């Protein structure tokens, strides 16, 4: 599924979106399902977040099969100022979580950072 999400990320880039974070994490040890976390510049407006959620959800639906979609617990589109996003931006593109790791009060049991942009701290807080 990581490869398919990389394909989805490439499509996001083709649409000229400024991706700051794209990650897939297993943070729920009971259901063993993925959380997809996405952030880009300009998501402080809730209407823009809704539009990006619909865009990302449609990409997931059109690029993943039914069994893969069933492995996703949640899709989250968050602004750069979100605490989880700020915590995950510390991990570089390509980082793989392979054991229980605490991130912003959540335990990541498995995960992949497919993209993590280098955003200067003052810029992220200004957005």
What's the CATH number where 18 sits? 3.30.300
- Confidence (pLDDT) at 28: 75
Per-residue pLDDT at 127 exceeds 50: no
Rounded-to-integer distance, Cα 27 and Cα 42, Å: 26
- Confidence (pLDDT) at 31: 78
Structure tokens given for 62: 């059109």
Tens digit of each residue's pLDDT (9 = 90 or more) over 6-28: 999 999 999 999 999 999 999 97
Question: Which residues span the domain enclosing 59?
Answer: 2-126
Structural domains counted in the chain: 1
Tens digit of each residue's pLDDT (9 = 90 or more) over 89-125: 999 999 999 888 899 888 899 999 999 998 755 554 5
pTM of the model: 0.90
Rounded-to-integer distance, Cα 37 and Cα 30, Å: 19
Rounded-to-integer distance, Cα 93 and Cα 119, Å: 13
């Amino acid at each position: 599924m990581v490869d398919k999400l990389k394909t989805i990320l490439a499509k996001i880039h083709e649409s000229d979106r400024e991706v700051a974070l794209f990650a897939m994490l297993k943070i729920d040890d009971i259901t063993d399902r993925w959380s997809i976390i996405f952030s880009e510049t300009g998501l402080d407006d809730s209407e823009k977040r809704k539009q990006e959620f619909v865009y990302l959800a449609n990409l997931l639906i059109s690029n993943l099969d039914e069994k893969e979609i069933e492995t996703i617990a949640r899709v989250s589109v968050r602004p750069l100022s979100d605490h989880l996003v700020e915590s995950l931006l510390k991990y570089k593109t390509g980082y793989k979580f392979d054991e229980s790791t605490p991130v912003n009060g959540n335990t990541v049991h498995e995960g992949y950072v497919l993209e993590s942009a280098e955003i200067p701290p003052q810029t992220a807080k200004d957005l």
